[in-house]
Chains A and B, each alone.
Chain A
Amino acid sequence: MTRVATDTLRGRMGWLHRWVGFLGGLVILVIFAGGTLTSFDTEIGRWMQPEIQRTTRIPLSDTLVEAARARVETLRQQGQNASIDLPTERDPVLRIRYGKADAAVKEALDPETGDALHARQTVGGQFFYDLHFTLDLGHDLGRQVVDCAGIALLVAIGSGLVIHLRSLFSDLLIFRPFAARPRAWMDLHVLSGILVLPFLISTAYTGVVAHSGAILPDLRGGHQPPEKAVSYDIPDLRPILAQAERIYGPGHVGSLLFGRNGVTATRADSATFLLMRDEADFSPTGELRRTVHHGDAVSISQQAFRGVHFARWVPLPLRWMYFGSGLAGAGLMTSGLILFLLRYRRTKEKDALFAVAETLAMTVILGFPASALFLLWMNRLLPIDFPMRSLWEWRSFFAMAVTVFTGALIGSFRRKSLFAWRGFLAWIGCLGLALPLLDSLTRPGWTAHLGANVFVAVDVVAALAGVAALYAWTRLPPGRQA
């Protein structure tokens, strides 16, 4: 173990904060940035399907419900496990969901005619959700890695608090962006950390609790055998929907699932602060069999944890606050990684391990925004009917990440890392600033939607990311280190 200079509590916590923060931060930053974008996963998904231009939800028509029923029936005959996602304020079209859970197809139907809207296949905003949830490492391993990273974040927060406890409030008023580089980064690190401290603690803790079973398994073992399957034709869904709306309220039915022996209507996640997952089970002939309500104290506390973390209930202003807090948290982690590099650059710059550390930090800090923006670009540049389109979008994200990693590796080992930092910052600047132009050139009827909508919001955020990258590029003139 590295010897600490002074064996005090602050010294020990400083060592712990530095190393857990850096090693964990390389993973946590990706999870956190992915989670920040997941705040608007539905909206990003809509941006990625510009063929669907409806912006407001209209009441379900009989034609639409019947068309959805017929489509599900067809898919079931083809051996697909299909379900119906009902329109919401955030996604105002009905969607038929089928395929594998991690690569589901979400087919949209026209709200008036019930015809399939021929929108492009895309990974959608779900991509960022999966990245946040499992880092694309698979359901089990991914959740374990993400949970461990969450624990590391809690340790980093706890040790950081011990270090800065004495000057917690005075640091809140200090930010010197034009001071010496380490001072400026430290100010940003402390200020962003204090400002979003409650958000950081609550999201980290609730996130780990929500999937704590991945690292602290429930030891009961054994699973209930699946219910006996009954072959049935999908019944008329209108009475089922009407009854479900009487139970959960108008517009608060989330989806219709077609199980082995009947239909299940679930309560919409957005219906309440608690992520309840209540459901009403119907027989194959459409009669209500039972309702399931998780109302005991333990379930409610779990629903509250999930409600805080998943934020499916939040109105738009609060959703932007989640997004802003996520960005501040990402800023905190970015500044932490850079402070680590600054600390060791003077003494360890010639070490191979330092080059590895800088490569990984650069890959995470610049690779994520570059890859996310590149994914949006490829979403619009790939032809609509391109074979395996979603897969190619997925590949484009990771291809860009590998490109940044390779550039960072070469730059760091040839001791020209500044060149790589500047190059990728400029690249992000170009991708972000030009995205609104790409959107206007590739979105049908874009002039009809110049108000506040998902397209404009994504374009503006991308452009701001580009401006921020170019500003960082100007603050990093040739000859200076990050």
Chain B
Amino acid sequence: MLIAVITLAYATSWLVVADFGHLTHPPRRDDFLIGQTLATALIPLSILIGFGWRRDGRGVIALTAFFLAALLTWLWLK
């Protein structure tokens, strides 16, 4: 389960960076930097939430929802 949480946390954070990077066309360095700064905090927080909030797998469900939201945002911006 921990491996699943880490994978989801990383994938979500990576998508957050991509989302920020695609706010403008062409992508700007500053947007990526903001995304990287936020995503760096997001990975450990996601792991703590995903692993800690384990009742009925709620943490993983929440992380999956966040991942899908980030993915849809990226597809829309792209």
Chain A residues near B32 (CB-CB < 8 A): 218-220
**Pairs A–B under 8 Å by Cβ, sample size 9:** A1-B2, A9-B52, A13-B48, A155-B48, A158-B45, A158-B48, A209-B40, A212-B39, A302-B33
Write the chain A residue with the least CB distance to B59.
A12
Q: How far is the CA of A218 from the CA of B32 in the complex (A)?
A: 6
Taking A205-B41, A212-B37, A212-B40 as given, write out 20 further A-B residue pairs in contact, using a Cβ cutoff of 8 Å, ordered by the A residue number. A1-B1, A7-B54, A12-B51, A13-B48, A16-B2, A151-B40, A154-B44, A155-B48, A159-B48, A162-B48, A205-B40, A213-B36, A216-B36, A217-B17, A218-B17, A218-B32, A218-B36, A219-B27, A220-B26, A301-B37
Task: Give B15-38 as 1s and 0s: 1 = Cβ < 8 Å from A's Cβ atoms.
Answer: 001100100001101101111110
Complex: A154 Cα to B9 Cα, angstroms: 14
List of B residues within 8 angstroms of A296 by Cβ: 30
In the assembled complex, the CB of B10 is this many whole angstroms from the nearest CB of chain A, namely 8
Residues from chain A with Cβ under 8 Å of B67 in the complex: none
Chain B residues near A13: list those with CB within 8 A: 48, 52
**A212 and B35 alpha carbons, distance in the complex (Å):** 10
Tell me, yes or no, whether A30 is within 8 Å of chain B by CB. no
Residues of A within 8 A of B54 (CB): 7, 12
Main secondary structure of the interface of B (DSSP, over half): helix
Interface residues of chain B, those whose CB is within 8 Å of chain A, are 1-2, 10, 13-14, 17-18, 21, 26-27, 29-30, 32-37, 39-41, 43-45, 47-48, 51-52, 54
A217 partner residues in chain B, CB cutoff 8 A: 17
Residues of A close to B47: CB separation below 8 A: 16, 155
- Most chain B CB within 10 A, of A162, A212, A219, A301, is at A212
Q: Which 4 A-B pairs have the closest CB atoms?
A: A154-B44, A212-B36, A298-B30, A218-B32
Asked if A298 and B34 make an inter-chain contact with CB atoms under 8 angstroms apart, the answer reads: yes
Q: Report the minimal beta-carbon distance from B74 to chain A, rounded to whole angstroms.
A: 10
Assembled-state Cα–Cα distance A215/B14 (Å): 9
Select which of A209, A218, A299, A302 is within 8 A of B21 by beta carbon. Answer: A218
- A9: which B residues are within 8 A, CB to CB? 52
Q: How far is the CA of A217 from the CA of B32 in the complex (A)?
A: 9
Give A43 to B37 CA distance when docked, in angstroms. 32
Question: Contact: B17 with A16, CB < 8 Å?
Answer: no
Q: Report the separation of the CA atoms of residues A415 and B42 in the bound assembly, to the nearest whole angstrom.
A: 43
Distance between Cα atoms of A9 and B47 in the complex (Å): 13
**Given contacts A151-B43, A216-B17, A219-B17, is CB(A209)–CB(B37) below 8 Å?**
yes
From the candidates B2, B21, B36, B37, name the one contacting A220 in the complex (CB within 8 A).
B21
A296 to B, closest residue via Cβ:
B30
Any B CB within 8 A of the CB of A463: no
Q: Scan A336-348; emit 1 where CB is below 8 A from any B CB, else 0.
A: 0000000000000
Question: CA–CA, A11 to B51, complex, Å?
Answer: 11
**Residue interface bits A267-296, CB-to-B below 8 A is 1, else 0:** 000000000000000000000000000001
Interface residue? A208 (CB, 8 A): yes
B14 touches A216 (CB 8 A): yes
**Least CB distance, B60 to chain A, in whole angstroms:** 13
Complex Cα distance A208/B42, Å? 12
Bound form: Cα–Cα A394–B48 in Å: 39
Contacts of A1 in B (CB 8 A): 1-2
Q: Mark A203-234, 1 if CB is under 8 A from B, else 0.
A: 00100110011011111100000000000000
Given contacts A212-B36, A302-B33, contact A151 B44 (CB under 8 A): yes
Once the chains are docked, how many angstroms separate the CA of A187 from the CA of B68?
Answer: 43
B18's partner among A205, A208, A219, A305 (CB-CB below 8 A) is A219
Tell me which residues across on chain B come within 8 A of A301, comparing CB atoms.
Answer: 37
Of A162, A216, A220, which one neighbours B13 at CB under 8 angstroms?
A216
